[in-house]
Amino acid sequence: KSNVGHTQAAAGVAGIIKMVEAIRHGWMPRSLHCSAPTTRVDWSDGTVRLLSEPRPWLTEGPRRAAVSSFGISGTNAHVILEEAAPTESTPERAHEAGLLCLPLSGTNEAALRGQAGRLRDHIDAHPGTSLIDIGFSLATSRTTLEHRGLVVADDRADARAGLDALARGIPAPNYVSGVANVQGKVTFVFPGQGSQWPAMAKGLFDESAVFRSQMEACAAALAPYVDWSLLDVLRQEPDAAALDRVDVVQPVLFAMMVSLAAMWRSLGVEADAVIGHSQGEIVAAHVAGILTLDDACKIVALRSRVIRSLSGHGGMAAISLSADELRRRLEPFGSRLSLAVDNGPTSTVVSGEPRALDTFVAELTAEGIFARKVAVDYASHCSQVEALEAELLTAFGEVRPRRADISMFSTVAGGRVAGSDLDARYWYRNLREPVRFADAVGAAIQAGHRFFIEVSPHPVLTGGLTTLLETKGMRGAIVPTLRRDDGTLARIWVGLAELIVRGFRF
């Protein structure tokens, strides 16, 4: 087919687009009048008339128009257009649809604030305009520029307050702003113990069917391995098991993180890789597709039950030293104390015998070095775990790892691992060996990962992630999921907004 034919056909399609606009506005542009056909047509028979001059639309029915485009190459387009039937307007539908987002952008911060102010004034001047329609138009019909702001609201008053705060540059909990200067892959990061708080699931149970369904699936998968109810613990029932028990809190956190990961995925955010910190690796392996939900629940339940046998014999402390410096300072203590966690250049954890730990913490504190005991009465990631090796290998012996769906950066190996590597011995090593979080994150950064989402009830790894990115000289975005005493769906949407304003693309 000739290029001339394609060009004329394209011009004809452009004409059809103009015709659509004509129907919308109720006029017929002269430039779209059809010339008389070369074939003779008897126009006196019937009601069809050739359009030879501008004329008003008929008013006794819906407007209709037929448009034909003929290309020299034989490429033809024929379209019949009819006016849409009138619909009853709904002045405000925000409450019916739940939360909504109002995305804005500008070439600089001043332009962004100006956009927010004008939209606030528009909402005030047009109280009947649907906020959902405004949000949709903002997201789909405007160019997204580098300086971005996003307001999350559940009603008109909330939306106006967020827009007003953004326009004035005043912090508010329901909007975020930033510069979209981050590009790269997305990593879900799952911490170990420490992010829990009593009512962390209550809000999402009521607000999110996705969260509730995933949590119920976790409860069913855990039931054969525990003698308490996951749902009772999360709903804070009077007779529920105590959350401060290690054999309770670890499976509960597992279920929380699995369910929060499902929430992110329901919002269209998919991970390119996962990283798990200590017990968080069990969640990471499940989200990566390596472990079935049943196998993952078996590991976390039996692992936490075995750890309980260590209670009273050890302790752990957070230290503001590098891994190399900590090892050097621990030499006088021999096997009594060990490096348990390497979170980065200034963040480590030591574990071991209680008396030796108290002495070490006191020595560092006297020197002005930060050292604080962690609220646990056992010592993991050290030689004390060796007494449990046979029991753990037997407990995990039936676990069958699968091929990973997405990459997993191991905090046991310090780099990427294959699904087949995560057998029973791997899960023993996960409890016995130091947590190489800094190495795993470093490998992810090296592989192009720049967006790190901490999937947990409260962020505990943000500082370490920030330091590791800065150490590598890389720009990245670190986003939490929930925060202590803020476990709502709106909190997750604000996290999504943080991703978007930093440059994330679906």
Reduce the DSSP state of residue 455 to 3 states and report it: coil
Residue 415: other Cβ atoms inside 10 A: 17
Q: What is the predicted pLDDT for the residue at 12? A: 52
Report yes or no: 439 and 472 within 8 Å, Cβ to Cβ: no
Total-model pTM: 0.82
Amino acid identity of 394? T
Closest CA to 101 of 143, 139, 129, 128: 139
pLDDT at residue 24 tops 80:
no
Q: Per-residue pLDDT averaged across 185-190, rounded?
A: 98
Q: What is the predicted pLDDT for the residue at 304? A: 95
- Write out the two tokens for 9: 């056909």
- Write out the two tokens for 47: 């009601």
Q: What is the predicted pLDDT for the residue at 18? A: 58
Amino acid identity of 43? W
Residues 6+ apart with CB under 8 A from 316: 340, 349, 350, 351, 357, 373, 374, 376, 379, 380
Q: Per-residue pLDDT averaged across 347-367, rounded?
A: 97
Give the pLDDT band (50/70/90) at residue 19.
low
Report yes or no: 252 and 297 within 8 Å, Cβ to Cβ: no
**Average pLDDT for the chain:** 90
352: left (phi over 0), alpha (psi -120 to 50) or beta: left
Q: What is the predicted pLDDT for the residue at 23? A: 53
- What are the tens digits of pLDDT across the range 408-447? 999 999 999 999 999 999 999 999 999 999 999 999 999 9
Give the residue, 218 or 64, on which the prediction is more confident.
Answer: 218
Report yes or no: 33 and 52 within 8 Å, Cβ to Cβ: yes
Residue 325: other Cβ atoms inside 10 A: 15
Q: What is the predicted pLDDT for the residue at 91? A: 45
Residues 6+ apart with CB under 8 A from 194: 374, 460
Closest CA to 106 of 141, 164, 146: 146
pLDDT at residue 211 tops 70:
yes
Q: Which range (2-6, 279-283, 348-352, 421-425) has the least confidence?
A: 2-6
Q: What is the DSSP letter of 241?
A: P
Q: Which range (86-90, 150-154, 213-217, 391-395) has the least confidence?
A: 86-90
Torsion angle, alpha carbons of 319, 325, 326, 328, to 10: -160
Q: Per-residue pLDDT averaged across 445-462, rounded?
A: 97
Q: What is the DSSP letter of 30?
A: G
Residues 6+ apart with CB under 8 A from 375: none
pLDDT at residue 30 tops 70:
no
Strand partners, 185: 449
Q: Is the dihedral of CA 265, 268, 274, 278 positive or negative?
A: negative
Q: Per-residue pLDDT averaged across 488-504, rounded?
A: 96
Q: Per-residue pLDDT averaged across 338-344, rounded?
A: 97
Q: What is the predicted pLDDT for the residue at 175? A: 96
- Write out the two tokens for 357: 């730990």
Reduce the DSSP state of residue 33 to 3 states and report it: coil
pLDDT at residue 368 tops 50:
yes
